[in-house]
Amino acid sequence: MQSAVHEEIRKNAAEFGIAIDDRIDGWLAVRDPVDFRRAELEIAALCREFADATTAAVLKGIVTNAELQAEASLAAHLGGKFRHGGRREVGVTLLGGSDVRVTVEYVKPNRIGRPGRRRKVGQRGKGGVGFYPVLAALGIWFGVTPALGGEVCRQVADSDSVRAGRAALARRGIDLGHKRTLRVVNKYSGRAVAQRGQWLEQVCNDPPVRGVLRDKRVVIATDGGRLRERLADPRGRRRTETRHRRYDAPWREPKLLTIYVIDDEGTISDSFQPVYDGTLGDADAIFDMLAGYLKALGVHEARELILLGDGAKWIWDRAAKLAERLGLDAAKQLTQVIDWCHVVGVLHEIAAVPADWSEKQKQSWLRRAKNRLHAGKIDELLKFIDNLAVEPHAKEVSEHRDYFVRNAARMQYAAFEAAKIPTGSGAIESAVRRIVNMRLKSNGMFWLEVNAEGMLLLRSYLKSGYLDTLIDWSLAAAIPWWGPLTESHIPSTPLDLRTAAE
């Protein structure tokens, strides 16, 4: 078989050489930028064709290996969950956009001894779906190779829409069509979301391990964004043109987290690649994710943990519990800081209450209030605020007073600056803009919850630089029955974390 593959590749190389020979004189005759650009694109297209032809030959050589077929089939049948479903011809799209057809074994859910109601036409039974063991062992799912699946996910996540992502892919000869592109992205991301959830849950239940945060100054932050969710509304008739029913589009608040490391001067350190992630879940869900990531990174060995955020109560009400879950003493090892700009914004709201104040009076009051705030003299600031709490403005001013009482310990800005602790939540604010606003919040864009969760994961890992590792890890986690995955080059986590001992 190897000799046949070698011969096929040599044949492809010969055809590639002939194609080059037929065109090289024309390329050498180019004398203007437009023609040279077209020549370069033509050369790239020929190289893609040759690359796909070589990949197709290699793939056929792998899947027809009798030993591999037997090993993959045996591994997939372990546990009795699946049974032989015959050999089927299946199409696979390669990285360059070409298609190749291979014949491989198919396994399907084992319903023997577990009779149940027959599924309806077009629907899967409770037993789930079948798959191709040999292709799964190579990471080929949903009709695309792992390299193509990863590129489609990356391009669609990095673009502002599916259409823009498809246009960028088409420049490389890849056109899966709108529906198939969406299917690949949603399948890949949906599976990764489920796997990430299982991993974080397992991490939270496992004992602490040494990680990359040992002896580091660690900053964590969380905040919410906005997107429109698409909820089916069964009322009314379907539209004649699209056959779609009407739907509701309420606002949802996706919550994001970030984890990064600062040096002794309070500057973000290049020694650790920041982590981003998000969910459409509630406040408890994002703090569960924070706990899982921090535990996986070995935060119990960190020198210092700093929690940054705005004044949202849902953040600070869970801070102490987070420290407890991580085995930290909240009073000694956790520093809580409210973003300076958010607090100053509250002072501006207070200064705007007296309608008879001139702009000069407002600025004078704000200057003195900010001086007290920066010095951490919250008691004096409260008295300063109370002086404005007189009729008819007493209620409006008093509504803000509790904000400063509740967060006095989180507003010691002079002390924070002296300790080189950041006082701004710009990292998480920027993450919300780049991950949510620039991709999931466009006009006329509405999301099913499951698809929004998947896009949040892809965008978060893309912007933090971990997307390739996430895809490799997800492909490996999808086939736990495959023995060769024990090799060391397979990522053990979606972040591919290194130990602090390195």
Return the CATH number at 243. Answer: 3.30.420.60
Both structure tokens of 472: 């490799």
Are residues 302 and 346 part of one domain? no
User: Are 438 and 388 part of one and the same domain?
Assistant: no
Q: Check residue 365 and give its pLDDT.
A: 93
**Mean pLDDT of the 418-439 span:** 95
Asked whether the predicted pLDDT for residue 118 surpasses 60, the reply is: no
Question: Which amino acid makes up residue 351?
Answer: A
Looking at the structure, do residues 347 and 311 belong to the same domain, yes or no? no
Whether 435 and 395 share a structural domain = no
Residue 269, helix vs strand vs coil:
coil
What sections of 224-358 are H helices per DSSP? 283-296, 313-316, 319-325, 330-333, 340-351
Rounded CA separation 143/478 (Å): 15
The answer to whether the peptide bond before residue 392 is cis (omega within 30 degrees of 0) is: yes
Residue 163 falls within a domain, yes or no?
Answer: yes
Computed over every residue of the chain, the mean pLDDT equals 90
Using the predicted structure, report yes or no on whether residue 1 has a pLDDT greater than 80. Answer: no
Q: What is the number of other CB atoms lying within 10 angstroms of the CB of residue 154?
A: 20
Do residues 329 and 352 both lie within one domain? no
249 and 321 inside one domain? yes
Res 443: pLDDT:
86
Last residue of a domain, one of 397, 415, 433: 415
Does 444 have pLDDT greater than 90?
A: no
Distance of CA 488 to the CA centre of its chain: 24
Domain-located, residue 492? no
Q: So what's the pLDDT on residue 425?
A: 92
Is the domain of 218 the same as that of 274? yes
Query: 475: pLDDT confidence band, cut at 50, 70 and 90?
Result: very high
Burial of 43 (0-12, 13-18, 19+ CB in 10 A): middle
Same domain, 159 and 302: no
Question: Could you list the residue range(s) of the whole structural domain that residue 388 is in?
Answer: 341-415
Assess if residue 464 is contained within a domain. Answer: no
Residues 126 and 133 sit within 8 Å (Cβ to Cβ): no
Q: Do residue 290 and residue 230 come from a single domain?
A: yes
Range 441-448, long-range pairs (CB < 8 A, 24+ positions): 441/225, 441/226, 441/227, 441/228, 442/160, 442/161, 445/161, 445/227, 445/228, 446/228, 446/229, 446/230, 446/247, 446/249, 447/227, 447/228, 447/229, 447/230, 447/252, 448/229, 448/230
Q: Tally the domains of the chain.
A: 4
For helices 178-205 and 283-296, the axis angle rounded to 10 degrees is 70
**Within a domain: residue 74?**
yes
Q: How confident is the model at residue 318 (pLDDT cuts 50, 70, 90)?
A: very high
In this predicted structure, the answer to whether residue 334 has a pLDDT above a threshold of 70 is yes
Predicted confidence (pLDDT) per residue in 184-200, tens digit: 999 999 999 999 999 99
Q: Is residue 500 part of a domain?
A: no
SS (H, E, C) 332-369: HHEEEEECHHHHHHHHHHHHCCCCCCCHHHHHHHHHHH
Q: What is the pLDDT of residues 352-390, one digit of tens each?
A: 888 888 999 999 999 999 999 999 999 999 998 888 877
- Are 301 and 430 found together in one domain? yes
The predicted structure's pLDDT at residue 485: 67
**Which DSSP category does 29 fall into?**
T
Question: Please, are residues 24 and 95 in contact by the beta-carbon 8 Å criterion?
Answer: no
pLDDT digits (tens, 9 = 90+) for 188-245: 999 999 999 999 999 999 988 888 999 999 999 999 999 999 988 777 677 777 777 7
For residue 433, the tally of other CB atoms under 10 A from its CB is: 12
What's CA 227's distance to the chain center, in Å? 16
Residue 493 within a domain? no
Q: CA–CA separation, 87 vs 343, rounded Å?
A: 66
pLDDT, average across residues 117-122: 55
CA distance 256 to 456: 9
Is the pLDDT reported for residue 501 higher than 50? Answer: no
- Residue 312 to residue 188: CA distance in whole angstroms: 34
* Entry pTM: 0.90
d(CA 236, CA 239): 9
> Is a pLDDT exceeding 50 seen at residue 261?
yes
Helix runs in 146-177, H state only: 146-158, 162-170
- Domain assignment present for 502: no
pLDDT in tens, 339-350: 999 999 999 999
Query: What would the pLDDT profile of 154-165 be if each residue is shown by its tens digit?
Result: 999 999 999 999
Say if strands 231-232 and 275-279 run parallel, antiparallel, or are unpaired: unpaired
pLDDT band at 492 (very low <50, low <70, confident <90, very high): confident
Confidence of residue 43 (pLDDT cuts 50, 70, 90): very high
- Looking at the fold, whether 333 and 442 belong to one and the same domain comes out as yes
Whether residues 74 and 189 share a domain: the answer is: yes
Cβ neighbours of residue 382 closer than 8 Å, sequence gap 6 or more: 401, 404, 405
pLDDT tens readout for residues 452-472: 999 999 999 999 999 999 999
Per-residue DSSP letter, 447: B
Tens of pLDDT, residue by residue over 161-177, are 999 999 999 999 999 99
The answer, yes or no, to whether residue 411 has pLDDT greater than 50, is yes
Do strands 304-309 and 217-224 pair parallel, antiparallel, or not at all (unpaired)?
parallel
Alpha carbon distance 140, 146 (integer Å): 6
Assign 224 to helix, strand or coil. strand
**CA 152 to the chain's CA centroid:** 14
- Residue 122: per-residue pLDDT: 53
Residue 387 sits at the vertex; the CA angle it makes with 386 and 388, to the nearest 5 degrees, is: 85
Q: State the pLDDT at residue 234.
A: 73
- Looking at the domain assignment, is residue 455 inside a domain? no
Burial of 241 (0-12, 13-18, 19+ CB in 10 A): exposed
Residue 427 binned pLDDT confidence (cut-offs 50, 70, 90): very high
Q: Which of 20, 38, 63 is the last residue of a domain?
A: 63
Residue 500 has pLDDT above 50, yes or no: no
Examine the pLDDT at 499 and tell me if it is beyond 70. no
Tell me the per-residue pLDDT of 69-89, one tens digit each, with 9 for 90 and over.
Answer: 888 878 777 667 788 888 999
